[in-house]
Structure 1
Amino acid sequence: MTRAIVHLDMNTFFVSCERITNSQLEGIPLIIGGGDRGVVASCSYEARRFGVRSAMPINMALKLCPQAKVMKGDMELYSKYSHTITEIIQEKAPIVEKASIDEFYLDITGMDKFYGSYKWTDELAQKITKETGLPLTFALSINKTVSKIGTGEGKQKQNLEIPEHLVKPFLNPLSIQKIPMVGDVTFRLLSRIGIRTIQTLSEMPAEVLQQMIGKNGVEIWKKANGIDNNPVEPYTERKSISTEHTFSQDTIDLVKLKTILIGMVEKLAFQLRSEQWLTSTIVVKIRYANFDTETKQCKIAYTSADHILTTSVVQLFDKLFQRRMRLRLIGIRFSGLVRGTYQINLFEDTEEMLSLYAAMDKIKSRYGFDAVMRCAGASFKPNNKDEILKRKL
């Protein structure tokens, strides 16, 4: 049976959410971000016509579009709408994967036996827009790669259906930049040897492509040929992530305790960014030598940034640890999680900070968490295999 996979993407999601709450923002160039040295988290189509794009420095965006209105983002508002959209989709679709705060994959294979797959998806899209007021685009095809590329093209041509026999004709004339996994470096490398369209890329021997760009070469070749067997992964909300450290000997050494706390924060924050989560609630836990256990928590703006989380954790610990008795355990829990990447939360941080986190995360992902750490937390080492506890609803 041919698969029927939908990619559904909310159009300029942050901008659309802001316009629902303030109709005066309609029709004007709008940038969601913050600070003169911050970056663009999202922008309206009116701003994009001037060349503004996501992740661009705010000062550069304002040079391209000086009349744009810049607003600080409201992750709480966006998360509320994202949750509403998720509930609407899960009520109707058999299998749903929430790829980010504003995009979803749906597996509706077999739906055409009882109801046209495209008609069903179109009615779902209309229901979402009617109940939330938010615009969206979708594409229906045989796998996740083709449907995602279709959604990108559909931003200009509305919703698309790409049946199996039209996959190659649809993909062939497009730029290789449309393929997920093809970033700027890979694009420049392939462009130098004249490979700029998906058709040219698809006609290359897969082995040659692998030799040129490494282990991802075969995967990119498959995507260029419209091949993607990755399943739609059912979505479940994560409730929290946490970590605890039990000391081999009870301690009252404040320098040691805070050093370990900083290392714990760095590890959890890296996990948040790797899995595209943002947290809004921090809980610090301590257990004294006599086994008395105490906790303290605080609410913060949604983030996954080490420097913000570390400050809050250390402040909570200072308020919590008052007895001056030796400790046998310390722990941290991040809860109130929502989907999102660190970039979309950089409403006040600088481009340099964004680049630093991206570089550190890349090194950690490739060589392991311990490959690069801040000096303040470098002494933290997990003391058991289940150091990070994952809780799901």
Structure 2
Amino acid sequence: MSDVCKLGTVPNLQSPDPLAWDGPAVGLLDLDAFFASVEQLDHPEWRGRPVIVGGSADRRGVVSTASYEARRYGVHSAMPSATARRLCPDAIWTRGNFARYREMSAQVMAILGDETPLVEQVSIDEAFFDVTPGRYSRESPIEICRRVQRRVAELGVTCSIGLGVNKTVAKIASEREKPRGLTAVLPGTERAFLAPLPVGAMSGVGPATQERLRRMGIRTLGELSRADAAELERTFGVLGPRMALRAAGLERSSVAEAAAPEDVKSVSNERTFSEDLTERDQVRAGVAHVSEMVGRRLRRKGLRGRTVTLKVKYDATHARTAQRPLAEPTDDERVFGRVALALLDELWQPGMRVRLLGVGVSGFDDDRPAQMSLFGGGADEAGEGRDRSALGRVADALRERFGDDAVGYGRDLRFKDRTSDTAPMHKDA
């Protein structure tokens, strides 16, 4: 029998017994076509039909998730909706219900939590988990994964799981058999499993890195694992030898428990516009619009940061970012939004087209004392800041109770019909 057990398709296991796992056991659970699967669960009449979750083609939308029926036509996530519509004109389209997806995701993560406290959720539909024998259970990791898959299926969605001795192997294994696959790479067989795969199968190796490796004569993970460490370091810096180690299956990785809110490193939002912004007042209003979205999320999480990042995307493939520190931590978009606007001059000049704007705030763990104003500022300035912050909290409360459109600024009205109707991108890192 192969040392790689594709248990989703090979139900009858033979010796050597893969259930007798010896060593670390790290799993990666990936929910299959998650958003589309939830939609098909909630709309039984959509089952068996191509379903696409994403923004509309007429407003520069992108595909968030496509059901497997839609994927047969070549549709995939992050594809422009216009392309997806051309490939699959009869698909059912929905913008999605992200509150519902978060609810279902929480139920899946709770299933993993029943098996081990070491669950590291990396996205709404993906999580690493540690089921090393003897750590929290003496049961076979493979049996645990099978049970997790059964319980997830009872919720009405399915998942694929990769199991290996580290995160790299688990992630790659999770992609081998989809949907409803369980691929276990037995301890000691990592190198043989990885060697024939293209270098792009390993996370973190994007097109640019693949091209540089190709020029070095490296196309597979086996070739990468045998590459000269000094040459890799000259080309890629310290990441070069680390890539070779991962390609050999020798990475040593641990699964951390889910991050608490105070462990979040950054909070950001992005908006894609259905038509390019070209005028200064449009672009400045766009930065303020996205800053307000970030401020709301910062206050909801009880976070204040002291570093601001602005991202400007000019077309589908070209983007730049700029960053600047704040004098003291804040959750007020009127404060960090002004800094984001100041950064705009580093990234944009009149005549340049803007497709997407993003604003991020980080530096939550920096506990340096607040810097006092060089020119006084005194009680009046502090009081004004408290008034602005209080106003933001009142506006937040009204939106929470009556909806996002309950309170708004004049600048927001101009974007009501000018942003992509793909759900806004917001990230906690």
Q: Does 1:39 align with 2:62?
A: yes
Match of 2:251 in 1: 228
Residue 270 of structure 1 is matched in structure 2 by: 360
Match of 2:383 among 284, 288, 294: 288
Is 1:93 the counterpart of 2:116 in the alignment? yes
Q: Is the 8 A contact 1:33 1:347 kept in 2?
A: no
Cα distance change on mapping 1:349 and 1:301 into 2, 3 Å: farther
* Aligned residue-pair number: 299
SS of 2:108 mapped into structure 1: helix
Q: 1:168 aligned to 191, 194, 211, which one?
A: 191
How many percent identity over aligned positions? Answer: 27
- Counterpart in 1 of 2:36? 15
Q: Name the SS for the 1:217 alignment partner.
A: helix
Pick the aligned partner of 1:64 from 87, 104, 110.
Answer: 87
**How far 1:312 moved relative to its partner?**
9.4
Cα RMSD over matched residues? 4.0
State the partner residue of 2:348: none
1:236: Cα distance to partner? 3.7
Q: Is the 1:7–1:147 contact (alpha carbons within 8 Å) kept by the matching residues of 2?
A: yes
Query: CA offset at residue 145 of structure 1?
Result: 0.7
How far 1:300 sits from its partner (Å)? 10
Deviation at 1:111, TM superposition (A): 4.3
- 1:121 pairs with one of 111, 129, 145: 145
Question: C-alpha separation between the residues in 2 aligned to 1:106 and 1:258?
Answer: 37
TM-score (norm 1): 0.66
Quote the Cα distance in structure 2 between the aligned partners of 1:301 and 1:179. 42
Query: Contact 1:4–1:110 at 8 Å: present in 2 too?
Result: yes
Distance 1:86 1:264, change over 3 A: farther
1:88-142 Cα shifts (integer Å, max 9, x gaps): 2212213111111111111111249721111122112211221x11100112110
Residue 133 (1) aligns with residue 156 (2): yes
Structure 1 distance, partners of 2:406, 2:399, is 11
Structure whose residues are more often helix by fraction: 1
Q: Equivalent residues in 2 for 1:1-393 (5 A)? A: 2-36=23-57, 37-111=60-134, 114-130=138-154, 132-155=155-178, 158-238=181-261, 240-243=301-304, 260=335, 262-263=337-338, 269-271=359-361, 288=383, 294=390, 295-298=393-396, 315=409, 348=421
Structure 1 contact 222–228 (Cα < 8 Å) conserved: yes
**Cα distance 1:265–1:297, how it changes in 2: closer, same or farther (>3 A)?**
farther
Question: 1-side partners of 2:142 and 2:149: how far apart?
Answer: 10
| Contact 2:23–2:132 under 8 Å retained in 1 | yes
C-alpha distance in 2 between matches for 1:73 and 1:232: 31
> What is the identity, as a one-letter code, of the residue corresponding to 2:117?
P
Alpha-carbon contact 2:159-2:181 (below 8 Å) kept: no
Q: How far does the alpha carbon of each residue in 1:355-384 deviate from its partner, in whole angstroms, 9 at most, with x for none?
A: xx9xxx9xxxxxxxxxxxxxxxxxxxxxxx
Distance 1:261 1:270, change over 3 A: closer
Q: Give distance in 2, aligned partners of 1:209 and 1:180.
A: 17
- Which position in structure 2 is the counterpart of 1:321? none
SS at match of 1:155: coil
Give ranges in structure 2 of 5+ residues lacking alignment: 1-21, 262-299, 307-325, 344-357, 365-380, 413-418
Any gaps of 5 or more consecutive residues in structure 1?
249-256, 275-285, 303-308, 319-345, 362-389
Find the counterpart in structure 2 of residue 326 from structure 1.
none
TM score, norm. by length of structure 2: 0.61
| 8 Å CA contact 2:54, 2:422 repeated in 1 | no
Task: Identify which range, 190-199 or 74-83, moves more after superposition.
Answer: 190-199
Task: Tell me by how many angstroms 1:230 deviates.
Answer: 2.2
Change (3 A) 1:154 1:264: farther
How far apart are residue 185 of structure 1 and its match?
1.0
Residue 244 of structure 1, CA deviation? 8.0
Contact kept? 1:41, 1:347, Cα under 8 Å: no
Secondary structure of 1:288's aligned partner:
helix
Per the alignment, in what secondary structure is the counterpart of residue 139 of structure 1?
Answer: strand
Indicate the SS of the match to 2:396.
Answer: strand
Change (3 A) 1:312 1:4: farther
Q: Tell me the distance in 2 between the aligned counterparts of 1:6 and 1:58.
A: 33
Write the distance in 2 (CA, Å) between the matches of 1:235 and 1:271.
Answer: 21
Deviations 1:319-343 (A, max 9, x none): xxxxxxxxxxxxxxxxxxxxxxxxx
CA contact (8 A) 1:5 1:105 kept: yes
SS of residue matched to 1:106: strand
Given that residues 159 and 180 in structure 2 are in contact (C-alpha distance below 8 angstroms), is that contact kept between their aligned partners in structure 1? Answer: no
Alpha-carbon shift at residue 68 of structure 1 (Å): 2.0
